[in-house]
Protein backbone atom coordinates (compact mmCIF):
# COMPACT_ATOMS: atom_id res chain seq x y z
CA UNK A 1 0.00 0.00 0.00
CA UNK A 2 2.87 2.44 0.56
CA UNK A 3 3.65 2.33 -3.16
CA UNK A 4 0.11 3.52 -3.91
CA UNK A 5 0.50 6.52 -1.62
CA UNK A 6 3.72 7.58 -3.37
CA UNK A 7 2.10 7.50 -6.82
CA UNK A 8 -0.12 10.49 -7.45
CA UNK A 9 -3.04 9.56 -9.72
CA UNK A 10 -3.89 11.75 -12.71
CA UNK A 11 -7.13 12.97 -11.12
CA UNK A 12 -5.09 14.46 -8.26
CA UNK A 13 -2.09 15.56 -10.35
CA UNK A 14 -4.42 17.71 -12.45
CA UNK A 15 -5.76 19.59 -9.42
CA UNK A 16 -4.65 23.07 -8.52
CA UNK A 17 -3.38 23.67 -4.99
CA UNK A 18 -6.64 25.11 -3.66
CA UNK A 19 -8.78 22.21 -4.92
CA UNK A 20 -6.33 19.63 -3.57
CA UNK A 21 -6.23 21.34 -0.18
CA UNK A 22 -10.03 21.50 -0.05
CA UNK A 23 -10.28 17.78 -0.88
CA UNK A 24 -7.70 17.02 1.81
CA UNK A 25 -9.67 19.04 4.39
CA UNK A 26 -12.81 17.07 3.49
CA UNK A 27 -10.94 13.79 4.01
CA UNK A 28 -9.75 14.94 7.43
CA UNK A 29 -13.35 15.80 8.41
CA UNK A 30 -14.54 12.37 7.27
CA UNK A 31 -11.82 10.55 9.18
CA UNK A 32 -12.37 12.63 12.33
CA UNK A 33 -16.13 12.02 12.22
CA UNK A 34 -15.61 8.31 12.80
CA UNK A 35 -18.59 7.61 10.55
CA UNK A 36 -16.72 5.76 7.83
CA UNK A 37 -15.96 2.05 7.77
CA UNK A 38 -12.45 0.73 8.30
CA UNK A 39 -12.16 -0.10 4.59
CA UNK A 40 -13.32 3.40 3.61
CA UNK A 41 -10.91 4.90 6.15
CA UNK A 42 -8.00 3.07 4.56
CA UNK A 43 -9.02 4.19 1.07
CA UNK A 44 -9.54 7.83 1.98
CA UNK A 45 -6.38 7.88 4.09
CA UNK A 46 -4.44 6.71 1.01
CA UNK A 47 -6.08 9.43 -1.08
CA UNK A 48 -5.31 11.95 1.65
CA UNK A 49 -1.66 10.96 1.57
CA UNK A 50 -1.61 11.46 -2.19
CA UNK A 51 -3.31 14.85 -1.87
CA UNK A 52 -0.83 15.93 0.81
CA UNK A 53 2.10 14.94 -1.40
CA UNK A 54 0.57 16.82 -4.34
CA UNK A 55 0.13 19.94 -2.17
CA UNK A 56 3.74 19.63 -0.96
CA UNK A 57 4.94 19.37 -4.56
CA UNK A 58 2.91 22.45 -5.57
CA UNK A 59 4.36 24.45 -2.66
CA UNK A 60 7.92 23.37 -3.52
CA UNK A 61 7.38 24.41 -7.14
CA UNK A 62 6.00 27.79 -6.08
CA UNK A 63 8.87 28.38 -3.68
CA UNK A 64 11.41 27.58 -6.38
CA UNK A 65 9.82 30.16 -8.70
CA UNK A 66 9.63 33.02 -6.23
CA UNK A 67 12.05 35.69 -7.32
CA UNK A 68 12.81 39.21 -6.28
CA UNK A 69 13.31 42.06 -8.72
CA UNK A 70 16.01 44.45 -7.61
CA UNK A 71 17.23 47.69 -9.10
CA UNK A 72 20.97 48.23 -9.34
CA UNK A 73 22.60 51.64 -8.78
CA UNK A 74 22.97 52.08 -12.54
CA UNK A 75 19.19 51.65 -12.96
CA UNK A 76 19.24 48.17 -14.45
CA UNK A 77 16.90 45.54 -13.12
CA UNK A 78 18.03 42.12 -11.93
CA UNK A 79 16.10 39.07 -10.83
CA UNK A 80 17.39 37.05 -7.90
CA UNK A 81 16.00 34.29 -5.73
CA UNK A 82 13.93 35.71 -2.90
CA UNK A 83 16.15 33.95 -0.34
CA UNK A 84 19.31 35.40 -1.86
CA UNK A 85 18.81 38.63 -0.03
How confident is residue 76, by pLDDT bands cut at 50, 70 and 90? confident
pLDDT at 78: 76
Q: Break the chain down into helix, strand, coil percent, rounded to 5.
A: 65, 10, 20
- Under 8 Å CB-to-CB from 53, ≥6 apart: which residues? 5, 6, 8
Among candidate residues 75, 45, 47, 59, the one with its CA nearest the CA of residue 17: 59
- Are 30 and 47 a contacting pair, CB within 8 Å? no
Report CA 75 to chain centroid distance, whole Å.
38
pLDDT exceeds 60 at position 55: yes
- pLDDT given for residue 1 in this prediction: 41
Per residue in 8-24, pLDDT (tens digit) is: 999 999 999 999 999 99
Amino acid sequence: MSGEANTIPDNIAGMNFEDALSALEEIVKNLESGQVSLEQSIDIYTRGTQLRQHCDNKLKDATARIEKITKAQDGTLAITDLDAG
